[in-house]
Amino acid sequence: MGINPAQVKSLQPGAHADGRGLYLIVRESGDRAWAYRFTAPDGKRGQMEFGKLSEYTLAQARDKVFEFRKALKAGTDPRAKRNIEQKASVTFKAFADAQYPDWCKGCSPEEEKQWARSIADMKLLHDRRLHEIATEDVYEALKTIWFEKPITADRTRQRLERLFDAAKALKLRTGENPATWRGNLKPLLPSARKLNRKKSKGGHTSLPYEKLPALMTALRLETGRAARCVEVGILTVTRSQEVRRMEWSELDLEKKQWLIPAEKMKIKGEEKPKPHLVPLSDQAIEIIQAMPTRGGRYVFPSDDRNAEHDTPFFANALTNTVKRCGFDVTMHGMRTSFRNWGADSKAHNFRREVLEFCLAHRVGDESERSYWTSDMIERRREALQVWADYVKPKKPVDDTKRPALKVVA
C-alpha cells in the first residue's frame, strides 16, 4: 500500500515507501523530505532527496519520480540530471559566445566570423538554458534558415552539434545531442544539398563556356585585386575559398605550380582530404607575378579598407565583381563552364579523368582509386594551358613594331 495524502503529515520518523522507489523521509526533528531510491546505470544502488514536503505534494512527488524513472530508462542517472538543473543556469548564447572563440584560434579570421553568424541566426535558442534544449527546439531554430540558405544552415547545425557535445562534456546537460543529424533531425528536415541544388535550379549558376572569353575581357577593365583573383580562379578552375586564400608560401613559380594544403580542400565525402597540386598556366603566372607582395601572406588581400591587414576576400566580393562585369553567375559556376568546355570542345580530346582531376574531384570507386597513384600533373598542365589559351588568349606579337634587323655585309 502506498502513502495516502492524509498520512504525509502524521507518519512517524523513518523512511516510508510509497512505491516505484518514492520514499517520504521523516526525521526526528519533524522535517519531511521526498527521496528516490533506484539502481543506477552502473548497477549500484543509489538514493537522492529531491525536495521537501513543503515544496512537493504527494502527487507532485510521484510525477517527479516518473521523470526520474524515464531518465533511468534512457541511461541517465537522475542525480546527474538534478545536479545539472541546479547549476546549469547558463544560456545557450552565453555558453556559445564563451566557447567558439577558443576553437577558432589558429584558423583564418573568416572562421570566427562564420561562427558568430551561425550563433546570431539561432535567435530562438539564445535565452534557453542549455539543459532545457531538446530536438524540437533545435528543429524550430534551424527551420528559420534551412529553406532560405540550406548549405549555410547545415554548417550551422554542425556547429550546434559541437556546442552541445561540449556542454555534455562539461556536465552542463545530459542525454542525446539535440543537433545530431542521423536518427534525429534527418527525418524532420530535407537534405540541405538536395535542397540547394533544387533552389539553384540544378547547381551553381554557370556561364556557357563560349562567353568566358567575353567575361575575361570585361575583367581586364576592373582595377581591383578582386578582379585579378577572379581571373586566376577561372584559369585554375579552383574553388572560391581556395583561390581567395591563396598564399605566397604555397606557390612555386619556377615549377609553375600551386600546392593547396589539405585543410583548405573541400571534397564531398572525403573525411581526410589530401593536398591538391595545381599546374599554373602562363596566363595565371603572369597575373600572380603582377601582384605586389609587400611582405603579406595572401596573394589577393582584400581591398576593403575596414578589413584587417592582409585579410582574404569574402566569397561575395568575387561574385559581385563578376556581376559588375554584366554576368549574373557564381564563381563556382565557372568550374561547370570548364567541365562543359572539356566535354564539348572538338579542339582537344582530354580524358574525363584529366578534367575531373583538374577540378579536384574523386575519380572512380574506392577499389579503382586504390590503384590510381598518378596525379596526372603533366596532362592537367596541358589541359589548363589550353583552357587558358581559350578564355584568355595570349597577346599576339606585333611584328610591325619590332626594330628592323640590320644586315651586316
- What is the DSSP secondary-structure string of 203-235? SS----GGGHHHHHHHHTT--SHHHHHHHHHHH
Distances (CA, A) of 222 to 215, 322, 382, 397: 11, 10, 28, 24
Looking at the fold, whether 219 and 70 belong to one and the same domain comes out as no
Pair 136, 244 in one domain:
no
Q: What is the mean pLDDT of the chain?
A: 84
Q: Are residues 106 and 51 in the same domain?
A: no
* pLDDT tens track for 328-378: 888 888 998 999 898 886 667 788 888 888 988 876 545 444 444 457 889
| Residue 290 CA: distances (Å) to CA of 1, 36, 131, 300, 391 | 90, 76, 56, 11, 19
Strand partners for 279 = 257
**Looking at the structure, do residues 229 and 366 belong to the same domain, yes or no?**
yes
pLDDT tens-digit series, residues 189-231 = 998 888 776 655 444 577 889 999 999 999 999 888 999 999 9
Q: Which domain holds residue 166?
A: 92-199
**SS3 (DSSP) at 46:** strand
CATH label of the domain that carries residue 284: 1.10.443.10
All three cell numbers of 34:
521526498
**Are 302 and 260 contained in the same domain?**
yes
Say if residue 273's pLDDT is above 60: yes
pLDDT for residue 155: 93
Q: Tell me, what CATH number does 62's domain have?
A: 3.30.160.390
In a domain, 129, yes or no: yes
Average pLDDT of 7-21?
91
The mean per-residue pLDDT over the stretch 124-142 comes to 93
User: pLDDT at residue 286 above 90?
Assistant: yes
How many whole angstroms separate alpha carbon 30 and alpha carbon 393?
Answer: 96
Beta strand extents in 4-44 (DSSP E only):
14-19, 22-26, 32-39
Residues 97 and 134 in one domain: yes
Q: Which residue among 65, 87, 109 closes a domain?
A: 87
Residues 190 and 225 in one domain: no
Report which of 260, 216, 244 is spatially closest to residue 359, judged by C-alpha positions: 260
Residue 347's nearest CA partner among 318, 385, 301, 402 is 385
Number of other CB atoms surrounding residue 130 within 10 Å: 23
102 in the same domain as 72: no
Q: Which of 94-103, 127-136, 204-213, 285-294 has the lowest mean pLDDT?
A: 204-213
Q: Does pTM surpass 0.75?
A: no
Domain containing residue 118: CATH number: 1.10.150
- pLDDT band, very low/low/confident/very high, at 296 (cuts 50, 70, 90): confident
Residues 242 and 354 in one domain: yes
Phi-psi region of 226 (alpha: psi -120 to 50; beta: other; left: phi over 0): alpha
Residue 8: inside a domain: no
Asked if the structure places residue 262 within a domain, the reply is: yes
Pull the grid cell for residue 170: 562539461
Clarify whether residues 225 and 372 are in a common domain.
Answer: yes
User: pLDDT class for 84, splitting at 50, 70, 90?
Assistant: low
Q: Which grid cell is 391?
A: 578564355
* Higher-pLDDT residue of 409, 222: 222
| DSSP annotation string for 243-300 | HHT-BGGGEETTTTEEEE-GGG---TT-SS---EEEEPPHHHHHHHHTS--TT-SBSS
pLDDT grade for 269, boundaries at 50, 70 and 90 = very low
Number of domains in the chain: 3
163 contacts: CB under 8 Å, gap ≥ 6:
92, 95, 96, 99, 100, 179
| Alpha-carbon gap, residue 59 to 221, rounded angstroms | 79
Residue 6 is assigned to a structural domain of this protein: no
Q: 300 and 194 share a domain?
A: no
How does 152-180 read in b/e, with b if 16+ C-beta sit within 10 Å?
bbbbbbebbbebbebbbeeebbbbbbbbb
Same domain, residue pair 285 and 368: yes
